[in-house]
Amino acid sequence: MGFLKKLFGSESLDDLCAEAEAHFAAERYGQAKLVFERAFEKAKGDGESARAELAQRIEASRDGIAQGRIEQAEDHIEARDLDLARAELEGALEVVIDAALRTRAEELLYGLEKADAVTAAVEVEVTDADRLATIAGTWEDAQDEEYAEYGDGLNDALLALFSDEPKSARPLLEAILEEAEAPRFLWLEVGRARMIDEDDEPAEEAFRTFLEQLDDDEGGDSRFAAHRNLARLLDNRGDVEGAIAELEDAAAFFDEDPRPLLTLGVYLRDKEQPAESVEVLQMAADMMGDRPDWSILEELGLSLAENGQVNEAIQVFESSIDFLTSEKITNFPVRTSMKLAELHEETGSLERAADLYRVLSQGADTQNHIVYHREAGRVLGKLGLTDEARLMYERAAALVGDDTEAGSAIAEALAALETQDEEA
């Protein structure tokens, strides 16, 4: 059985690679990533070239996952379901490798932060004029006036920059820059294009030139974008302290805006500084008063958990769920719900853990419903609620498709429930 082969590690490297490639070809990128990772571990004795090739396939799988989530987010944006779009984009940013895909996800997410809350699901045709209006949504007056001087050429370049083929924007923007008499905000767009081209030093030069030309009270969201991109460039070359300094500069400038603190807090956690992350994210939450944004609560909860403050993390995650419920949002963020379920299980609150998995199994993350049904079944089994557990596993079995490994694992779990009933 596939389950037993996995359990005892008897699959060959060739078998694993073939299985992973089959998943990849069928656009099951999540499953492909998991099997490529197993193959990567299996290939420890096969030389660096084999492992390097597998590492590339893992990265390609991650980008496939991200691409799918970005496309799902765009569908949600078109339907004006902005909360689901935000969750998809955040999920994409967790796994993405490709610089162009990351920029695309970040800019979409950034646009959502400024969008009006629209609850009616309305199908609309997105025109170039609509896209330009979205891109321009955070511009300052000075930025708008400067860009108007460049005419339709800049509009074409911006549409390309925020399209599926952003690399086509760079030559257009460089040509406009060469002819511009006194470019200021244009440097920001040129920096973005160079960054997408993975031309890091010229990109950094463009962002710093942009920042140097701003007045002390000028720049707004564009200033934040420049600092954020500089932080990423510095991180790319291993300068963690420099990246932190860039994000601290942004937080100091936007002293009444929690977004730079949120970005800094997440970065600190990613760099294994959870205590510092908790401090920064708590400042971001405090800045928003009695009703902080759920995304800040989510990140604070994750950092608290990583810092070993389990009870505090549970309290913050539950506050996030309460906030979403009060806003009549029933599709809870996956990371919040999964981590909260995990913490409740660790602390013995199995009923709450099972409830969270059941909620996820009915939510918008349909790609992973099979996982949530299985987790709900597993926890319900631990509670001795074998009938309820069996129902969850049967629902998972209905979603298996051609994943024989998952099917074998579910069959094993159902057989274990039968044994559990016989022994009761």
**pLDDT for position 137:** 82
**pLDDT for position 43:** 81
Give the CA count within 13 Å in the CB-facing half-sphere of 343. 22
Q: Is 255 in a helix, a strand, or coil?
A: coil
User: Regarding the domain with residue range 330-424, which homologous superfamily does it belong to in the CATH classification?
Assistant: Tetratricopeptide repeat domain (1.25.40.10)
Q: Is 116 in a helix, a strand, or coil?
A: coil
Non-local CB neighbours of 235 within 8 Å, separated by 6+ positions: 243, 267
Residue 351: CB atoms within 10 A of its CB come to: 13
CATH of 138-257, one of 1.25.40.10, 1.10.10.2520, 1.20.1440.230, 3.20.20.140: 1.25.40.10
Write phi, then psi, for 415 (nearest 5 degrees): -65, -40
pTM over 0.75: no
User: For residue 156, which of 144, 142, 173, 140 has the smallest C-alpha distance?
Assistant: 173
**pLDDT for position 79:** 77
Q: What ranges in 290-368 are assigned the alpha helix state H?
A: 294-306, 310-326, 334-346, 350-360
List the chain pLDDT tens, one digit each, 424 residues. 333 344 334 568 888 889 889 989 988 887 777 788 778 878 877 677 888 888 899 899 889 988 988 988 888 887 777 777 887 888 788 778 988 899 888 888 877 765 533 333 334 467 888 888 888 888 889 999 999 999 999 999 999 998 888 999 999 999 999 999 999 999 999 999 999 999 999 999 999 999 999 988 888 889 999 999 999 999 999 999 999 999 999 999 998 899 999 999 999 999 999 999 999 999 999 998 777 778 898 999 999 999 999 999 999 999 888 877 777 677 788 999 999 999 999 999 999 999 999 989 888 888 899 999 999 999 999 999 999 999 898 888 878 877 888 888 988 999 999 898 888 7
**pLDDT for position 197:** 93
Q: Which two tokens stand for residue 392?
A: 């969850």
**pLDDT for position 25:** 92
Residue 54 burial (10 A CB sphere; 0-12, 13-18, 19+): buried
3-state helix, strand, coil in the chain (%, to 5): 75, 0, 25
**pLDDT for position 217:** 83
**pLDDT for position 125:** 63
Residue 113 burial (10 A CB sphere; 0-12, 13-18, 19+): middle
Q: What is the DSSP string of 12-73?
A: -HHHHHHHHHHHHHTT-HHHHHHHHHHHHHHGGGS-HHHHHHHHHHHHHHHHHHHHHHHHHH
